[in-house]
Amino acid sequence: MTMNDTGMESTPKRKKLQKIGIFTSGGDAPGMNAAIRAVTRAALANKLKVVGIRRGYQGMIEGDFISLKSSDVSGILQTGGTMLKTARSAEFRTPEGREKAYQQLKKAEIDAVVVIGGDGSFTGALVLSQEYDVQFVGIPGTIDNDMYGTDYTIGYDTALNTVVEAVDKIKDTARSHGRIFFVEVMGREAGLLALNSGIACGAEVILIPESNEQHDALKKFISKGYKNKETSGIVMVAEGDEAGGALKIAEQVRKDHPDLDVRVSILGHIQRGGRPTARDRVNATKMGVAAIDALLDDQKSIMIGLDNEKIVHVPFNKAVKMNHSIDTNLLDIQKLLNI
As a whole number of angstroms, the distance between CA 42 and CA 35 comes to 10
Q: Are 331 and 214 in contact (CB under 8 A)?
A: yes
Burial 296-312 (b: 16+ CB within 10 A, else e): eeebbbbbbbbeeeebe
DSSP 3-state assignment of 312? strand
- Other beta carbons within 10 angstroms of residue 215's beta carbon come to 15
As a whole number of angstroms, the distance between CA 302 and CA 308 comes to 18
Burial class (CB in 10 A: 0-12, 13-18, 19+), 110: buried
Task: Give catalytic status of residue 144 as yes or no.
Answer: yes
For residue 230, the Cα-to-chain-centroid distance in whole angstroms is 37
As a whole number of angstroms, the distance between CA 305 and CA 308 comes to 10
Phi/psi at 14 (nearest 5 deg)? -70, 145
The one-letter amino acid code at 13 reads K
As a whole number of angstroms, the distance between CA 225 and CA 228 comes to 5
The one-letter amino acid code at 125 reads A
The one-letter amino acid code at 231 reads T
- Other beta carbons within 10 angstroms of residue 323's beta carbon come to 12
**Which residues, 6+ apart, have CB-to-CB distance to 176 below 8 Å?**
none
Three-state secondary structure of 67-117: ECCHHHHCCCCCCCCCCCCCCCCCHHHCHHHHHHHHHHHHHCCCCEEEEEE
For residue 121, the Cα-to-chain-centroid distance in whole angstroms is 10
> In angstroms, how far is the first alpha carbon of the chain from the final one?
68
Selecting among 119, 144, 146, 157, the annotated active-site residue is 144
Q: Give the neighbor-by-neighbor strand order of the sheet with 179-185.
A: 205-207, 233-238, 179-185, 261-266
Active site positions, annotated: 144
